[in-house]
Structure 1
Amino acid sequence: MRDSADKIIKKIHPEIRSGTKWSASKTTQEAECSLRIKDIMGVTQSNRAGLGSTTNKIFSKEGPKEKRDMVLEEVRVFEEEQRTAVAVAQAKQCAWTKWNDIEPIKLSWKSLIAMEPLAISFLLRSTYDLLPNATNLKLWGYTDSDLCFSCKQDRGTLRHVLSACPKLLQLYTWRHNQVLEIIIELLRTQYESANQQPVTVKQPTIQFDKEGECPVRRKNSEVKQLNGANDWKISADLFTFLQFPAHIIQTEKRPDIAAWSDTKKSVLLIELTVPWEENVEDAHERKKNRYESLRADSIEKNWKCFVIPIEVGCRGFLGHSVISLLTKLGITGQKLKAASN
């Protein structure tokens, strides 16, 4: 109302009651002060993008509507920073703040309605470590022992139960195969679609921007991994013993998925891991190093070999590597969103 063009509305100063812990007027004033300080600082660059790659709005030069939108966005940033600061102080319930290379799960009303109640309960309670494992039951005063119910050797923490109990290895294998089956179906559909397309090889071009114009980010709609061939074959180490193509190289190693094209002389080795979310980075490097020798041997045989480790957390959170793989194979937009859910 303060910035309204109507003189009568501009004189109205309503009292906004927002409780004792949060003040709307104070928060708005802080947001405006922060935006004015950013105007004084000028355009800055905080990531690896070059200067001029991002556009920054100047608060003092924007109109009333744009200023309101900028203030609202700044308030959201403040609230998110405070929420994160509180979460970091809670080492047990908010261990998710330490997860790296993990895609956040966006729970919309549509997705919540489609999910099973037990799946929602497991997702939320496992994220905040509120499942009734042996350690929590002892902490809550229900039992006297915190030993794992299955192995009776180590403490039954959530991490032990979901990823480290020696008595639950068969369940871990079953979980791994369930995730692998979903990924295989997605990839097989994409490769079959690529095989039905004519072979097109486009020469790379460089598009320059005119002098004085801001750089334009151009989206590349081509699927580079699948271009140049329509004879892709895919094999998986699921239900049947995977035999790596002998005409490429003879090896005893068995990646979860192998996809290759004889005309393009290109092979993709995809290895799935379902680790504890905090161990996603370590699992990625471990799997990548495991197949490094196979990649080197394939290159010596004049084959292009790509080792692609992917990770899906034991709670169901996708790693960045999964999204990257699906995007490179042409699964984008709503199809990618549906696959992620």
Structure 2
Amino acid sequence: MNLIVKSVEKPSRGPLLSSGVRQPPVRAFMDDITVTAKTVIEGRWSLEELERMIKWARMKFKPSKSRSLIVRKGKVQDETFELAGEKIPTVGEKPVKCLGKKFDATLADMVNMGEVQVQLALTEEYKVTKTRQVMTLRDSKVAKVRGAKVKIRTGRKWKAEEAVKEAETRLKHSVIVGVTAVDRQGFGMTTKPRWDTANKKGRRELVQQEIRQMEEESRNVKAVGMKQHAKLDTTRRKKRKMQKNITFVNFVRAGEKKDNQAEGLGILGTASDWQMTADIHQRMSFPAEIAATSLRPDIVICSQGTRQAVLLELTVPWEDRIEEAYERKMAKYQQLVEDCKQRGWRTWCMAIEVGCRGFAGQSMWRALRTLGVVGAERKKLITEVCREAEVASQWIWTKCGKVQSDRTMNSYCVDNGLRTDIDIQNSIDIS
């Protein structure tokens, strides 16, 4: 899925917000994909590219379960998109419900607020009805009904019998407290029914009113808690901004020496005559002045003045084998590092792993930090390396599929006595 998302980012750059932040054109979570574009044309290009990649992956979309929304100058337009030859319904035609909220063409919360109020009213009436049923059976004039011990079925989190007991306890306590005066009211100006003087019908009504009051208090407590949680989250974000200049303490393991190199300088900041050789276009030979060996690391960085050398070995394994690849590469170049140190060279060997699906290992972050590449430069470099790994994996997958199809065609032509000019490569060099 990550390969598909990255390949679809080319037709569109994504909309630019007023804050200067550009949204990604394609976002994916599990089997859901969201496409955003600046114009309708870019959106159609993105859908065409996405459809092509999905077919390549032997999957298909369900346009009937998808939704589209076009907003121009703050107003919702009636234009539509097509996917796999089928029209994608708009949000106005078929509103979508997500996380308990319904999104339609109005883009307003009035409908959601109305539905929430209806749900709250239904919950409250349900509880009142259950408590009335409990009291009716408990206080019945018929002895057999009172002794039947009928159980009122409710949910696991709320019990009608317990709610009735709590409401009666609150009403008895209110008799002891009495009627409280509010604002400038005088004593005895407000009267309310009392629990100790009410009959059975009156007590049922008092319990029902108390249940409604308890439900309202519960809603108020949740609302206040959500407000306090939002304030706490805002305070935490402010503290994070204030704590940007925190000095971290780096501990040293037993038997190791402290590295006095400052953050941002690293190994590359200790010399100015660095020379780099890479095993890319032609066969590289390890510098003879450092050591004599037949091994060929991917990158060798050396400084003649300070007699320092850095060996970089890149591996692109499956993500589950990153740790195994790291141990294997470090063991491979351990003897070479010892030979370099015996000849008076301060040598580092850094095995770097980047997964074939574009996930960089922790060794990549550590190596760049040790070299002195930190901050935004390190993030940008790792992003580019991961993207190149994804592109290379996609190319290898495409070529393997092409070679397989060519082999099948050649076998068919030979079996049928036909002549063909198809050249089949026996192997693909992916090193």
TM-score range, shorter chain: 0.3 to 0.5
TM norm structure 1: 0.38
Asked which structure has the greater CA Rg, the reply is 2
Larger relative contact order (CA 8 Å, sep ≥ 6): 1
